[in-house]
């Protein structure tokens, strides 16, 4: 089947007026930026183009609700990211309500107006992408979306966290009893590093310490032609440290 025949198939199955089908097919191929590709057979299209044909076929009869299950999972990373933005554009142009089931956190945040995070069949949080990322309700959501560092400690009277001698200021989720065990999630982009605390300006939490970078393995391997002139494979461990200050914002 050609790309156009693929897109036309659901229209024929639903007994649309045959005279309207070519125009509708052409319109939706243009929508997914495949105008002029209608006569090409599926094996003549790239993976991304094939995925666009599938999207056009699902939308061509203008459903009130579109259900998607891992629609971009088979694509490579670069193509998947391109298709996420493309699909978002199509959603806005058509205004069709879409339920998309995915394990790709980036995809969920990019293409959605609302996101429901589930674990073990239970809803952990329902919010818009910004709120979900910035104010996760529990450690599972914080760890599932993006990279977080977790700090455990006791809740203070003003809703912050005390871990040893360090006071971590944050936004509490719900009412916290003073002294209760709590966990704070800190995103990597919320941390600023500098050689001294004076360079950081205003911070919610300020720490002095040492930055350590460890290279766990450095290897050199000889080819058979070089064996007589070079030593055997060697391994080493290198650690670089520097005193620094860090703050969370």
Q: How far apart are CA 207 and CA 167, in angstroms?
A: 10
Confidence (pLDDT) at 131: 92
Structure tokens at 118: 């589930």
Report residue 134's pLDDT band, with 50, 70 and 90 as the boundaries.
Answer: confident
| Separation in Å, CA 88 to CA 55, 59, 65, 140, 204 | 12, 13, 15, 27, 36
In the chain, the domains with their CATH numbers are 3-101 (3.40.50.300), 114-145 (no CATH), 190-248 (no CATH)
pLDDT in tens, 69-98: 988 887 788 888 888 888 888 888 888 899
In the prediction, which pLDDT does 93 show?
86
Instruction: Provide the pLDDT confidence category of residue 197 given band limits of 50, 70 and 90.
Output: confident
3-state secondary structure of 116: strand
Within 8 A by CB and 6+ apart from 170, the residues are 160, 161, 184, 204
pLDDT for the residue 198:
74
């Amino acid at each position: 089947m050609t790309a156009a025949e693929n897109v036309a198939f659901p229209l024929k199955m639903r007994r649309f007026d045959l005279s309207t089908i070519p125009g509708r097919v052409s319109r939706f191929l243009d929508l997914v930026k495949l105008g002029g590709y209608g006569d090409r057979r599926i094996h003549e299209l790239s993976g991304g183009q094939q995925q666009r044909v599938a999207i056009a076929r699902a939308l061509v009869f203008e459903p009130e609700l579109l259900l998607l299950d891992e629609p971009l999972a088979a694509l490579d990373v670069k193509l998947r990211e391109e298709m996420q933005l493309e699909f978002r554009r199509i959603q806005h142009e058509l205004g069709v309500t879409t339920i998309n089931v995915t394990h790709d956190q980036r995809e969920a945040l990019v293409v959605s107006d609302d996101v429901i995070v589930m674990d073990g069949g239970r809803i952990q949080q329902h919010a818009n992408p910004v709120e979900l990322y910035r104010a996760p309700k529990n450690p599972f959501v914080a760890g599932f979306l993006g990279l977080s560092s977790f700090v455990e400690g006791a809740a203070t009277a003003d809703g912050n966290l005390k871990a040893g001698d360090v006071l971590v200021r944050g936004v509490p989720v719900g009412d916290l009893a003073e002294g209760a065990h709590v966990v704070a999630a800190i995103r990597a982009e919320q941390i600023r590093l500098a050689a001294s605390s004076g360079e950081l300006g205003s911070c919610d939490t300020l720490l002095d310490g040492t930055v350590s970078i460890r290279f766990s393995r450095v290897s050199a391997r000889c080819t058979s032609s070089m064996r007589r002139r070079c030593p055997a494979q060697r391994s080493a461990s290198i650690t670089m440290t520097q005193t620094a200050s860090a703050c969370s914002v």
